[in-house]
Amino acid sequence: MLKEMLSLLEKNARIEVTDLAALLNTDEKTINDQIKECEEKNIIAGYHTIVNWENANTEIVKAMIAVSSTPERDKGYDHIAEIIANYPEVNSLYLVSGRTEFILIINGSTMREIADFVAHRLAPIEGINTTETMFILKEYKIMGEIMDKENGKPERLLMTL
Amino acid sequence: MMIFDELINIQVKEMAPSGIRKFFDIASSKKGVISLGVGEPDFITPYHIREAAMHAINTGKTFYTANKGLLELRQEICNYYLRRFNLSYNPNNECMITVGGSEAIDIVLRAILNEGDEVILPTPSYVAYAPIIQLSKGKVVEVTMTEENGFKLKKDQLKKAISDKTKAIVINFPSNPTGGIMEYDDYLEIADLIKENNILVISDEIYAELTYDKKHVSIANIEQLKENTIIINGFSKAYSMTGYRVGYILAEKPLIEMFNKIHQYTIMCASTPSQFAAIEAAKNGDKDIEEMYLSFKQRRNYIVKELNRIGLRTHLPEGAFYVFPSIKSTNMTSNEFCETLLDKENLALVPGSAFGADGEGYVRISYAYSLEEIKQAIERLERFLKSL
Ligand SMILES: Cc1ncc(COP(=O)(O)O)c(C=O)c1O
């Protein structure tokens, strides 16, 4: 049931506790306890809203940055990752396989702001060798949500056999 | 002016229009109607399946197929039945593709019935069986499945319905409209009766994948009954592919040959792009089934809880995506109930009487709707019940 509850919350962070209880055939107390426990254990790491900024007529700039770095003795990549992750501009950070070590996604209000961040904050970090900044030109899908949704669902008949 | 009435076949003239059709017409003429009346899933067909249909069209795979359908599709269906229900059929001669389960129902009944043959029909039942039996000049012998028995088919009732004219029985578990299922032991109870009387079993398993907390069992899983059984199934409900129109029949070779005789002249073959989509579904769709199953199960839990809360006693159905609550406490017929509800609250449900006389006193509520739609409908239904 925990997995089912988490999947429902992952799809809709605003789902109500009463609804979760009814859907999962249990009571509200059980759901509340489980959510609390998940929050405490950091199984639920946060609740966010997927904002389509373009539709809000608000300019925001996002970039994906590939970072190559050298691991530190004993600590591997974790120490560098911690330094990078602490910058509030960094929205997501991943250690990946492939040509570079890290992929990070950063948000800013202008291209200049992002360029400055890379030049003055990111690139100088000890252990970082190169960075490659890819500005995001258009967002098609974020966390499972298609950004440019067509109007509504296809229609079904009112009643069928 | 021609007098068309005189020109029409008597069976067709006597065929009653579906009770659902009548409500559909009223509901369609009104504005702001919310309906919990559809018998199809609400998911858009999974993308990889849609893509397979598009690919077939793009690459010109749009010629007629073999009458029985693409061999690859029949192979995938037979693999699927073995994988999921532990039943083995030969794709070459024990499987054929039809235009939905609907065509399968039609050709199976036409192929087996002679005038006066009796077909046992456990009711409440899906609306298509009785009219098609009558069209083939067969006689419908109804057997009541009661709420007390979980809308299962029981031995003593079946026994009473069997005569020397009994040719077949049509069963549909999980059931539209009741959501009832039959388990292995339930089938075992009636197995000897069917075997001894040499009865064909038409088993419409279109909701097989929507069996909650238990595994679907086919009557063909009873070993001695496999040869008696004609399985009808399709892609509409399991993969949310209603508009593709692909179904199939699994049965012994001599039967398939006869069904295919009608099919080759009336249909030729099912839609080719749809058959390619169905291959993709049968081959790679188990995960889609899983997701939809879970979502339906959650909505079932939700609606049953809510219906009981607002005062409509509803048992937890074990299959399909319908609940079938009793409305007897309102002292209305199911037709009155649904008509008044539609009139007062703009909420469309299907009266139980549309599924045979045994459905009187019940309504069919489909939960193949979003949670928001279900909530709105419950609100209207609650207000309506309070106003009575
Ligand atoms: C019990 C049952 N059988 C068969 C069908 C026919 O479905 P299709 O022709 O789409 O396969 C339906 C559709 O509602 C049904 O509910």
Listed by start position, the domains of chain B span 4-44+287-387, 62-284
* pTM beyond 0.90, yes or no: yes
Least CB-CB distance to B35: which of A7, A154, A158? A158
Q: Which of B207, B245, B302, B370 to mutate to test the interface with A (most CBs of A within 10 A)?
A: B302
What are the Cα distances from residue A40, in Å, to A10, A15, B6, B367?
Answer: 17, 19, 78, 35
Q: Establish if A34 belongs to a structural domain.
A: yes
Fold match flag (B4-44+287-387 vs B62-284)? no
Work out the mean pLDDT of chain B and round it to a whole number: 96
| Sign of the four-CA dihedral B6, B8, B10, B12 | negative
Q: Which CATH class is domain B4-44+287-387?
A: alpha beta
Residue with tokens 């959501």: B179
CA of B217 to the centre of ligand 1 (A): 18
* CATH classification of the domain holding A80: 3.30.70.920
Tell me the per-residue pLDDT of B317-337, one tens digit each, with 9 for 90 and over. 999 999 999 999 999 999 999
Which residues are paired to A132 by β-bridges?
A66
Q: What is the pLDDT of residue B315?
A: 84
Q: Which residues line ligand 1 (CB under 6 A)?
A: A 161; B 39, 100-102, 126, 172, 176, 204, 206, 234, 236, 242, 247
Q: Does residue B298 belong to the interface with chain A, where contact is any CB pair within 8 Å? A: yes
Q: Does residue A4 belong to the interface with chain B, where contact is any CB pair within 8 Å? A: yes
Residue with tokens 């009346």: B37
CA of B102 to the centre of ligand 1 (A): 6
Q: For residue B59, is pLDDT > 70?
A: yes
Backbone dihedral angles phi then psi of residue A43, each to the nearest 5 degrees = -80, -40
CA B37 to chain centre: 14
Q: Does residue A157 belong to the interface with chain B, where contact is any CB pair within 8 Å? A: yes
Instruction: Name the strand (E) or helix (H) holding B322.
Output: strand B322-323
Residues of B in contact with A161 (CB under 8 A): 18, 20, 39, 126-128, 176
Q: Establish if A48 belongs to a structural domain.
A: no
Q: In terms of Cα–Cα distance, which of A45, A52, A44 is closest to A20?
A: A44
Q: Where are the alpha helices (DSSP H) in chain B?
A: 10-14, 19-28, 47-58, 71-85, 100-112, 129-135, 155-161, 184-196, 253-266, 272-284, 286-309, 334-345, 371-387
As a whole-number percent, the residues of chain B with pLDDT over 90 amount to 93
Which residues, 6+ apart, have CB-to-CB distance to B276 below 8 Å? B52, B53, B55, B56, B61, B70, B73
> In this structure, what DSSP letter does residue B70 have?
-
Work out the mean pLDDT of chain A and round it to a whole number: 93
* Cβ–Cβ under 8 Å, residues B249 and B96: yes
Q: Are residues A11 and A61 part of one domain?
A: no
Tell me the per-residue pLDDT of A119-155, one tens digit each, with 9 for 90 and over. 999 999 999 999 999 999 999 998 888 888 776 678 8
Pairing between β-strand A61-69 and β-strand A102-108 as defined by DSSP bridges:
antiparallel
Domain count across chain A: 2
Q: Establish if A35 belongs to a structural domain.
A: yes
Q: What is the pLDDT of residue A128?
A: 95
Distance between CA atoms of B265 and B317, rounded to whole angstroms? 40
Which of 3.40.640.10, 1.10.3720.10, 3.10.580.10, 3.90.1150.10 would CATH assign to domain B62-284? 3.40.640.10
Pairing between β-strand A61-69 and β-strand A90-95 as defined by DSSP bridges:
unpaired
For chain B positions 157-176, those within 8 Å of chain A (CB to CB) are 176
Mean pLDDT to the nearest integer, B70-99: 98
ipTM of the complex model: 0.81
Tell me the per-residue pLDDT of B177-234, one tens digit each, with 9 for 90 and over. 999 999 999 999 999 999 999 999 999 999 999 999 999 999 999 999 999 999 999 9
- Angle formed at CA B377 by CA B373 and CA B381, multiple of 5 degrees: 170
Q: Which residue does chain A place closest to B294, by CA atoms?
A: A4
Q: What is the pLDDT of residue A61?
A: 95
Least CB-CB distance to B294: which of A4, A25, A156? A4
What share of residues in chain A are helix, strand, coil (percent, to 5)?
35, 25, 45
Q: Are residues A16 and A85 part of one domain?
A: no
Residue range of the domain that includes A121: 53-138
CB atoms within 10 A of CB A50: 12
Q: Are residues A78 and A114 part of one domain?
A: yes
* CATH classification of the domain holding A22: 1.10.10
Q: Are residues A29 and A76 part of one domain?
A: no
Query: Cis peptide before B177, with omega less than 30 degrees from 0?
Result: yes
Q: Are residues A64 and A34 part of one domain?
A: no
Q: Are residues A125 and A74 part of one domain?
A: yes
Distance between CA atoms of A59 and A77, rounded to whole angstroms? 34
Q: Where are the alpha helices (DSSP H) in chain A?
A: 2-11, 17-23, 28-40, 78-85, 111-116
Please report the atom of ligand 1 found closest to the CA of residue B207: 1
Q: Establish if A133 belongs to a structural domain.
A: yes
Tell me the per-residue pLDDT of B337-375, one tens digit each, with 9 for 90 and over. 999 999 999 999 999 999 999 999 999 999 999 999 999
